[in-house]
Amino acid sequence: MNQNLLLAIPMLPLAAALIAGLAGKAIGRGGAAAVAIGAVALSFVLSCLVLKQLLLDQAPNFDGTVYTWLVSDGVRMQVGFLIDRLSALMMAVVTFVSLCVHVYTIGYMSDDPGYQRFFAYIALFTFSMLMLVMANNFMQLFFGWEAVGVVSYLLIGFWYTRPSAIFASLKAFLANRVGDFGFLLGIAGVLYFTGSLDYQTVFSAAPSVATKSLMVFQGHAWSALTLVCICLFVGAMGKSAQVPLHVWLPDSMEGPTPISALIHAATMVTAGIFMVARMSPLFEYSPTALSFVLVIGATTALFMGFLGIVNNDIKRVIAYSTLSQLGYMTVALGVSGYSVAMFHLMTHAFFKALLFLAAGAVIIAMHHEQDMRKMGGLRHRMPLTYWTALIGALALIGTPLFSGFYSKDVLIDAVHASQRYGAGYAYWCVLLGVFVTALYTFRMIFMTFHGPERLDQHAREHFHDVGWDMKAPLVALAIPSVIIGYLTVEPILFGGYFGSAITVLEGHDVVGELKAEWHGPAAFALHSLTAAPAWLAAFGVLSAWWFVLRHPERGDALRERFSGLNRVLVNKYYFDWFNENVLAPLARGLGLLLWRGGDQAVIDGAIVNGSAEAVGRLAGVTRRLQSGFLYSYAFWMIIGLAVSLGWFLIHI
Amino acid sequence: MQQLGLLSVVIWLPIAGGLVTLAFGDQRARAARWAALLSSLLTLAACVSLYAGFANGTANFQFIERLAWIPALRSQYYLGIDGISLPLILLTAFMTVPVIIAGWSEIDKRPAQYYAAFLIMEGLMIGVFCALDSLLFYFFWEAMLIPMFVIIGVWGGPRRVYATLKFFLYTFLGSVLMLVALIYLYLKAGDYSIAAMQQLPLTLAEQRWIFIAFLLAFAVKVPMWPVHTWLPDAHVEAPTGGSVILAAIMLKMGGYGLLRFSLPITPDASHELDWLIVTLSLIAIVYIAFVALVQQDMKKLVAYSSIAHMGFVTLGAFLVFYIMAATGSAQGAVNGLDGAVVQMISHGLISGALFLCIGVMYDRLHTRDISAYGGVINVMPKFGALMVLFALANSGLPGTSGFVGEFLVILASFKASFWFALLAASILVVGAAYNLWLVKRVIFGEVANPQVAKMQDLNPREFLVLGVLALAVLLLGVWPAPMLNMMEASVQHLLQQMLTSKLPGAA
């Protein structure tokens, strides 16, 4: 593989971002769009070329250095690329979704004054994400990791005059920073135990690290690898929004919809999944860490799904769905099913980006209305959006033959086959999750596109279907949402696609166990009709239909009946309440206490000004001695003489 | 005895320039300004040629000048630089230029004296980093206080008298003890040269006293918790340029002193008392970061943030012995030392830039109160973008210089102890919180009030200053290798000095 070609893949979007950002006025709106789209399109083509070289031409993996970032104490930190089938797949997915979103942006942002700035940001995001994915070392991984976080921060707060948007952006950055805090500790641990930050060196040292331990508390040795892996995973929990660091993702919907699709569904939030898959040579040696991953993922998958059922904001429903699906991927990682996780990541990127873009089309058509209670019956007004959204929904709930079906059903089978501690709990979570997914997804579809129209006056007057600049990306994403699973499930999961890019130890290989019962994608779809997930999904759709369309009043009755549970769900399990009413005031209170109490009262008040006052007081006393009155001096002289004499007499 | 050379040029050129500026007088302010700018640029050019002529890969001092100074005291005019002092000299020369430009039309009270003070201070500060004779060092160290005292006292805010007194007493008290230590060392070594002091064998008791005397001087300058309270007051009262130099350069004197004096002269005491430095550093990082969170005054916020960031410098410098104890080898200790030096440079750029940003806002609204602002980006988009960049850099974003030093120190501290790394890394969260919360309240949001609505975006001069700093912050973040290469040999040498016991009897 040619290094310049690889270098061009991230550099093109970076150049476009700089041009659109710094010379936005000079090149105008059309210019900015053209530059950004052109650059990302070229990146996409080159990424496909790389994928083709790896797959068809059997080119060897590329692992090379671009330049040396710094050398300190013999540790050489470099910027470099590791291109294997794992990174190549991610590159293709990232650039494809990014391209769709770039095109979609032309229409979505057409009347926004920050048009060029928006293109600059999404191109910059594409650059950062590619740097993250292509990295061959932890330093660069962390760079990309934080860089995507910053661009996400800037994009959530894109409409910087909205208080809710700038609040959400700050919240997102801080929640991510909590994750990054763990991630950085993990990286420091990697350097400590292996002496290097380069993937290859670190991975080959993993088996020996597995035997090391670290004294964290006096007398309590922890497995070094478990500590490192859990720290790294904390990073993934921030970026991939796992409980309890998930709080930022629903609020991130304050940003423009194209970035919800690109960043907060298809790419950035999957960085954590990608990272763990990339680190499979480390995680494999720590079943404890993997169990931790498994339980966190399972909890996220099920309990975040519940929240989708009670929400009425179309974007937030999809956001909760994203949380839940990220939980599914995390569960797959936890049972050593890295290839399944990556497979679900890919199919999810397509159908979730599709759902977001469809929701964005609805929002634009409704003139920035996001409340599903004010929609309904839109399938007549915007048929193409309806059909594409329906495809996305069917893929999401795992309808046989659709892309999401293959990734999700294999995932559930893999969890079922796993012996890992926590797999039993996880299995029930992901299984029940299928019902929940179908319920909230079709509740959304029915509320938005079916039933009677509930549009208000404003929306009715301003309603206009979207143009082809927004419809084309929907179609472009709908196609893979249907077929990509059918076409690629066999090579990716059972054909050894990932090869050496992913490490699975003997005895952990649940996907390999499933291979024995695999008889091709068509047979798998047929067989699934007799299995639980398909029935649970069907039951979910039916329930949604029953409560939304057939008997809407029963939904309200149900809410009344379980008002306590409903309150917990509406309040999102009180995570936000806790952060805003306990954690944040606690931090501010601590700051005030240390400032007013520590700095001002103790250090300045008692010690600094206190010693100055003490000097002053002493001076005040000694000053009195020098009164200027002769008789006073004489008096003190006599006293002094008497005392010295007395002392002299006594001691003689 | 060597002739006067380039180092003398970079010390005395700005001082001479300052005198010329002074000679023009406040009546010919325009000429004075140009003279000042020219001097600072010439000094920068001289420093760049210093960099060009500097040989990496050796720990020996370079550009040495050695002339008799006070023969009676056997004190010499002895100058030289190594990989630790050169970056700091470059920083000093680099940061003086924006200070001169930033005051161009904002300073109309005694402008010639204002510029002269900064130029003279520049020369003296460079002198501190060049001096290899400890009496000469002490001369520059104390002389430097005078122009800063004048800058705060004359061009400062309403409580400037309190602030200058506090600043002067704090730093002077520390320095006097350092002088006592230096005299003691001189009496034992018979020479004021720092190299002789570094080679002098000392008992542990001697080292302990000397270490504490040095520590008081340097800890005040850094400033380390709990002798930091002069800094917020000094910053609040100082004019913008004074704050910039104070944060960017003066604080670095303390870190430089620890590396040049404390660690090599008293390695055994450093070993024995490293727990004290590490504890105080971690307190500075965690405690001060929370204090920064609740500040209402922007300058105080950045001042507190400086203290927390300087905590990484002292932490990185004193991890060595913990790493030895934990792992049995010094592998990784240089990461901490490298991180300490890089952090000093990076903090100089970023905090300087942030104080300039605050100055830009202060010039327009005449308040530093966070609550007086809001939605500034609506009226000042260029400024807003740069301010956000510097705030992100200050919260250690990779790709900016703020990341490099903290990253290296955190990597090293993990080797010393998991808990050190945990506490140090907490800056990731709290640092982001105070920086971005500031940005949220000041830069973003709707235009808060009619005063904000009238603010003008950066003029070309301001844009140039902040733009150049932004480029420097990014360049150092994207490609720190040249700086690390410059330091490598000297830092390795310092490590060897630290690991060589000076106790009598120790081989």
For the stretch B55-80, pLDDT in tens is: 998 889 999 888 888 888 888 899 99
Distance CA A316, CA A324 (A): 12
CB contact under 8 A, B335 and A75: yes
Task: Give contacts of B 339-398 with A, CB under 8 A.
Answer: 339, 375, 377-378, 388, 392, 397-398
CB contact under 8 A, B440 and A195: no
Name the closest residue on chain B to residue A131, using Cα atoms. Answer: B399
Q: Report the Cα A619 to chain-centroid distance in Å.
A: 64
Is B469 in contact with B393 (CB distance < 8 Å)?
A: no
Distance CA A120, CA A18 (A): 7
- Hey, is B396 helix, strand or coil? coil
* The pLDDT value given to residue B2: 57
Name the closest residue on chain B to residue A175, using Cα atoms. Answer: B429
For residue A102, CA distances in Å to A131, A266, A345, B452 come to 19, 14, 20, 35
Strand partners, A221: A215
Average pLDDT over residues B176-204: 90
CA-based end-to-end distance of chain A: 102
Two tokens, residue A443: 């509740």
With beta carbons under 8 A apart, name residues in chain B contacting A603.
Answer: 226, 229
With beta carbons under 8 A apart, name residues in chain B contacting A163.
Answer: 445-446
Out of A157, A177, A187, whose CB is closest to B444? A157
Task: Give contacts of A 170-209 with B, CB under 8 A.
Answer: 170, 173-174, 177-178, 180-181, 184-185, 187-189, 191-192, 195
Distance CA A197, CA A323 (A): 30
| B425 interface with A at CB cutoff 8 Å | yes
Q: Report the Cα A627 to chain-centroid distance in Å.
A: 77
Q: Can you count the helices (H) and strands (E) in chain B?
A: 26, 2
CB contact under 8 A, A185 and B414: yes
Q: Which residue has the tokens 């920086």?
A: B435
Question: How many other CB atoms are there within 10 angstroms of residue A453's CB atom?
Answer: 14
Average pLDDT over residues B156-176: 84
Cβ burial, residue B86 (10 Å; 0-12/13-18/19+): buried
Angle at A207 between CA A202 and CA A208, to 5 degrees: 85
Distance CA A200, CA A277 (A): 14
User: Which one, of B41, B48, B135, B43, lies nearest residue B87 by Cα?
Assistant: B48
Task: Give contacts of B 29-68 with A, CB under 8 A.
Answer: none
pLDDT at B507 over 60: no
Strand partners, A64: A81
Q: Which residue has the tokens 């309040």?
A: A571
Distance CA A419, CA B40 (A): 71
Two tokens, residue A81: 């690329």
User: Which one, of B47, B37, B15, lies nearest residue B103 by Cα?
Assistant: B37
Out of A67, A174, A189, whose CB is closest to B432? A174
Average pLDDT over residues B87-113: 89
Out of B418, B433, B443, whose CB is closest to A174? B433
Sign of CA dihedral A522, A523, A526, A532: negative
Is A43 in contact with A130 (CB distance < 8 Å)?
A: yes
Name the closest residue on chain B to residue A603, using Cα atoms. Answer: B226
Sign of CA dihedral B357, B359, B363, B367: positive
Distance CA A107, CA A104 (A): 6
Is B226 in contact with B216 (CB distance < 8 Å)?
A: no
Amino acid in position B23:
A
DSSP state of A313: B
| A80 interface with B at CB cutoff 8 Å | no
Q: What is the pLDDT of residues B403-416, one digit of tens each?
A: 999 999 999 999 99
Distance CA B66, CA A63 (A): 51
User: Which one, of B362, B357, B342, B340, lies nearest residue B391 by Cα?
Assistant: B357
Task: Give contacts of A 130-159 with B, CB under 8 A.
Answer: 139, 142-143, 146-147, 150, 153-154, 157
DSSP state of A267: S
Size of interface A-B (CB pairs under 8 A): 142
Out of B440, B478, B479, whose CB is closest to A166? B440
Q: Which residues are CB-contacts of A149 (< 8 A; sequence separation ≥ 6)?
A: A172, A173, A176, A177, A180, A239, A268
Cβ burial, residue B301 (10 Å; 0-12/13-18/19+): buried
Task: Give contacts of A 212-251 with B, CB under 8 A.
Answer: 214, 216, 227
| A529 interface with B at CB cutoff 8 Å | no
With beta carbons under 8 A apart, name residues in chain B contacting A73.
Answer: 331-335, 338
Q: Report the Cα B186 to chain-centroid distance in Å.
A: 27
Task: Give contacts of A 547-586 with B, CB under 8 A.
Answer: none
Q: What are phi and psi of B494, to 5 degrees?
A: -60, -40
CB contact under 8 A, A146 and B397: yes
Instruction: Mark the ranges of chain A whose per-residue pLDDT is less than 50.
Output: none
* The pLDDT value given to residue B1: 47
Distance CA B251, CA B241 (A): 15
Name the closest residue on chain A to residue B283, using Cα atoms. Answer: A594
DSSP state of B55: P
Out of A181, A587, A594, whose CB is closest to B425? A181
CB contact under 8 A, B411 and A69: no
For residue A310, CA distances in Å to A260, A373, A572, B22, B151 come to 20, 12, 10, 73, 62
CB contact under 8 A, A588 and B292: no
Out of A75, A142, A603, whose CB is closest to B226? A603
User: Which one, of A128, A244, A251, lies nearest residue A182 by Cα?
Assistant: A244
With beta carbons under 8 A apart, name residues in chain A contacting B418.
Answer: 185, 214, 216, 227
More reliable by pLDDT, A47 or B29? A47
* E-assigned strand segments in A242-338: none
pLDDT at B120 over 80: yes
User: Which one, of A33, A57, A104, A63, lies nearest residue A257 by Cα?
Assistant: A104
Q: What is the ipTM of this complex?
A: 0.92
CB contact under 8 A, A591 and B229: no
User: Which one, of A310, A158, A332, A149, lies nearest residue A241 by Cα?
Assistant: A149
CB contact under 8 A, B404 and A70: yes
Q: Which residues are CB-contacts of B478 (< 8 A; sequence separation ≥ 6)?
A: A69, B399
Name the closest residue on chain B to residue A70, using Cα atoms. Answer: B481
Name the closest residue on chain B to residue A589, using Cα atoms. Answer: B294
| B321 interface with A at CB cutoff 8 Å | no
| B488 interface with A at CB cutoff 8 Å | yes
Q: Helix A287-310 to helix A423-449 angle, to the nearest 10 degrees? A: 30
- Hey, is A243 helix, strand or coil? coil
- Count the alpha carbons within 13 Å of A649 in the hemisphere toward its beta carbon: 6
Among A519-528, B442-451, B497-506, name the one with the lowest average pLDDT. Answer: B497-506
Name the closest residue on chain B to residue A587, using Cα atoms. Answer: B290
Is B129 in contact with B186 (CB distance < 8 Å)?
A: no
Q: Label residue B446 left, alpha or beta by phi (over 0 means left) and psi (-120 to 50 means alpha).
A: beta
From the CA atom positions of chain B, what is the Rg in Å? 22
CB contact under 8 A, B432 and A147: no
**Residue B437: band (very low, low, confident or very high) from pLDDT cuts 50, 70, 90:** very high
With beta carbons under 8 A apart, name residues in chain A contacting B404.
Answer: 70
User: Which one, of B282, B268, B285, B284, lies nearest residue B321 by Cα?
Assistant: B268
- Count the alpha carbons within 13 Å of A502 in the hemisphere toward its beta carbon: 29
CB contact under 8 A, B290 and A70: no
> Among A18, A66, A73, A613, which would you mutate to test the B interface (most chain B Cβ atoms within 10 Å of its Cβ)?
A73
> Among A22, A68, A72, which would you mutate to test the B interface (most chain B Cβ atoms within 10 Å of its Cβ)?
A72
Angle at B448 between CA B442 and CA B454, to 5 degrees: 95
With beta carbons under 8 A apart, name residues in chain A contacting B429.
Answer: 174, 177-178, 181
CA-based end-to-end distance of chain B: 32
Two tokens, residue A523: 């047979």
Angle at A399 between CA A396 and CA A404, to 5 degrees: 40
Mean pLDDT of chain B: 91
Angle at B358 between CA B356 and CA B359, to 5 degrees: 60
Two tokens, residue A94: 């990232």
Q: Which residues are CB-contacts of B261 (< 8 A; sequence separation ≥ 6)?
A: B134, B194, B197, B214, B218
Sign of CA dihedral A513, A517, A520, A524: negative
Mind giving me the DSSP string for A161-177?
T-HHHHHHHHHHHHHHH
Spell out a b/e string for A330-348, using b for 16 or more CB atoms within 10 Å of the CB, else e: bbbbbbbbbbbbbbbbbbb
Query: How far off is chain A from B3, nearest CA to CA, in Å?
Result: 35
Q: What is the pLDDT of residues B318-338, one digit of tens each?
A: 999 999 888 888 888 899 999
Question: How many other CB atoms are there within 10 angstroms of residue A370's CB atom?
Answer: 19
Question: How many other CB atoms are there within 10 angstroms of residue B42's CB atom?
Answer: 16
CB contact under 8 A, A67 and B287: no
Q: What is the pLDDT of residues B142-153, one digit of tens each?
A: 999 889 888 888
Counted residue by residue, chain A has a size of: 652
Q: Helix A468-489 to helix A521-528 angle, to the nearest 10 degrees? A: 100
Out of B338, B430, B440, whose CB is closest to A170? B440
A62-72 and A75-83: which strand pairing?
Answer: antiparallel
Is B130 in contact with B48 (CB distance < 8 Å)?
A: no
Counted residue by residue, chain B has a size of: 507
CB contact under 8 A, B414 and A150: no
CB contact under 8 A, A185 and B287: no
* The pLDDT value given to residue B388: 95
> Among A11, A65, A70, which would you mutate to test the B interface (most chain B Cβ atoms within 10 Å of its Cβ)?
A70
